[in-house]
């Protein structure tokens, strides 16, 4: 039997979110979702021709995200996630998951963490290609000067997510962490 995926659209304080998981419950996509047309494009880009079934509440991801938005900012660490991408992208995305909730780091620090200290720009590109927002926390990566840099969901969402996490972690606006 061919691979099958389940999806649902949930409401959140940062707008509707599209969640896609595989049959084992591993989250494969979490994107900001504004329309059925955007959902169609996401599905074509990541899963063209793969059977997709709408299944609200599947695997408990929506409930876990609701807890995250209610202030349990570390609960998303329990969500199993895997995205399709190059080896380098997957290495960056794995490193993103090690950034503690309520903290930030830089592209250069991620590059050093994965053993490629001259790859900050490539890390930025991989960060931008991350299809699993929030759970693979690309929003926690900021410029080396502390500035908020681009975010696929928009800078307002990035600012909101960072402030939300900082508020519940007790760090003030946000705490910068250096990965060595």
Positions marked active-site: 138
How far apart CA 19 and CA 8 sit, in angstroms, is 5
CA angle in degrees (0–180, nearest 5) for 124-125-130: 95
């Amino acid at each position: 039997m061919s691979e099958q995926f389940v999806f649902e659209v949930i409401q959140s304080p940062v707008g509707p979110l599209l969640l896609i998981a595989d049959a084992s419950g591993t989250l494969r996509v979490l994107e900001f979702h504004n329309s059925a047309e955007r959902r169609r494009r996401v599905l074509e880009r990541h899963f063209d021709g793969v059977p997709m079934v709408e299944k609200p509440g599947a695997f408990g991801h929506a409930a876990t995200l609701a807890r995250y938005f209610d202030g349990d900012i570390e609960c998303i660490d329990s969500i199993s996630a895997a995205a399709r991408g190059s080896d380098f992208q997957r290495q960056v995305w794995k490193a993103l998951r090690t950034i503690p909730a309520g903290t930030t780091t830089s592209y250069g620090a991620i590059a050093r963490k994965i053993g490629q200290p001259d790859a900050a720009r490539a890390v930025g590109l991989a960060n931008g290609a991350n299809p699993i927002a929030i759970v693979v926390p690309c929003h926690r990566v900021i410029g080396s000067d502390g500035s908020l840099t681009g975010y696929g969901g928009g800078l307002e969402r990035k600012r909101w997510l960072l402030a939300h996490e900082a508020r519940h972690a007790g760090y003030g606006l946000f705490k910068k962490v250096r990965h060595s």
